[in-house]
Amino acid sequence: MMTTLENLNIPGPAGTLQACLHHKAPADAIAPWTLIICHPHPLYGGTMDNKVVTTIAKAGVELGLQVLRFNYRGVGHSTGQFADAVGECEDLQAVIAFLKQSHPDCRLILCGFSFGAYIAAKVTADRQDVKGLLTVAPAVLHYDFSGLAQIHCPWWLIQGDADEVVPPQSVYDWLATTKQSVVRLDFAGAGHFFHGRLVELKASVKECFALTLQSEIP
C-alpha cells in the first residue's frame, strides 16, 4: 500500500507540537481508523522516533490505518517543557482535537510505550470516542494506573518478561488486582526496548489492532 508522510505543527496548550502523519496516497484518501502513538519518557531520551514507536507505526500503516506520531512539549521541535504527565495528557488531547477538526468521524486507537502507555491510558479513560487501546511495557510503578476511570474499549497490553526498565512483576501484580479488562501478550526473554525482537513485536501489534478493528466493526 502506498503511503505518504506529512510533517505537521499542531497547536498545543504549551505552544506547537511536532508531529508526523502517515496516511494513504493520495493525501486525501484518509483511512477511517486513526492510530495515535505516545512515546516514552522525554527526560530519558523518549521521542516519536523511538524504535518501538516507529515499529508500532509501521504495524498500523501495514494494516491501512492512518498513523500519527508526535513529540510532547519540550521534545524535538515541540515547544514548552516537561509537565510530569499532566501536560503530556493535555498534549495528546490537543492532537486528538486537531484530527477531529478535519476528520470528525475518524475512529481512534491510542497506543503508548512505557511512560507513553500511561498518557494513552489516561486519555482513553477520559474519553468515550476511543475504540481501542494498546499499552506496551506500561510504567505502572511510576504512574497511577489503578486510579484510572473504567476503560470500556478493547485494551491490549504487551510486556517483555526480561524488561530491565519496567519490572515485569509490577505489571503482572497490577493486572492481578485491576478491575479493568486487559488482554495480556507476553514476550519471553524480551527487554524493555525489544532489542532483536522488533519483527515479532510488529506482528503482535498488528494482531492486537486487527482484533480491535474486528471487535468494533458491526
Q: Which three cell numbers stand for residue 149?
A: 476511570
Q: Which of 27-31, 95-99, 168-172, 178-182 has the lowest mean pLDDT?
A: 27-31
Measured between alpha carbons, how far is 216 from 218 in angstroms, rounded to an integer? 6
Residue 59 has pLDDT above 60, yes or no: yes
Across the strands, what pairs with 68? 21, 36
Q: How far, in Å, are 12, 81, 170 from residue 144 at the CA level?
A: 24, 22, 12
| Model confidence pLDDT, tens digit, residues 95-141 | 999 999 988 888 999 999 999 999 999 999 999 999 999 999 999 99
Report in angstroms the alpha-carbon separations of 62 from 23, 74, 96, 203.
Answer: 10, 30, 22, 10
Question: Residue 6 has what pLDDT?
Answer: 92
Q: Residues 6 or more apart from 157 whose CB is under 8 A from it? A: 134, 135, 136, 138, 171, 175, 182, 183, 184, 185
- Neighbour-count burial for 106-139, b at 16+ CB within 10 Å, e otherwise: bbbbbbbbbbbbbbbbbbbbebeebbbbbbbbbb
Burial class (CB in 10 A: 0-12, 13-18, 19+), 43: exposed
Counting Cα atoms < 13 Å in the Cβ hemisphere of 18 gives: 14
The answer to whether the bond into 26 is cis (omega within 30° of 0) is yes
- Average per-residue pLDDT for the chain: 93
pLDDT at 27 exceeding the cut of 80: no
* Lowest mean pLDDT across 28-37, 83-92, 191-200: 28-37
Q: Is the pLDDT of residue 202 over 90?
A: yes
Q: What is the pLDDT of residue 1?
A: 54
Contact partners, residue 77, CB within 8 Å, separation at least 6:
9, 16, 18, 71
Question: What CATH number does the domain located at 3-216 have?
Answer: 3.40.50.1820
**What integer pLDDT is reported at residue 211 of this predicted model?**
86
Q: Is the pLDDT of residue 217 over 80?
A: no
- Residue 98 contacts residue 11 (beta carbons within 8 Å): yes
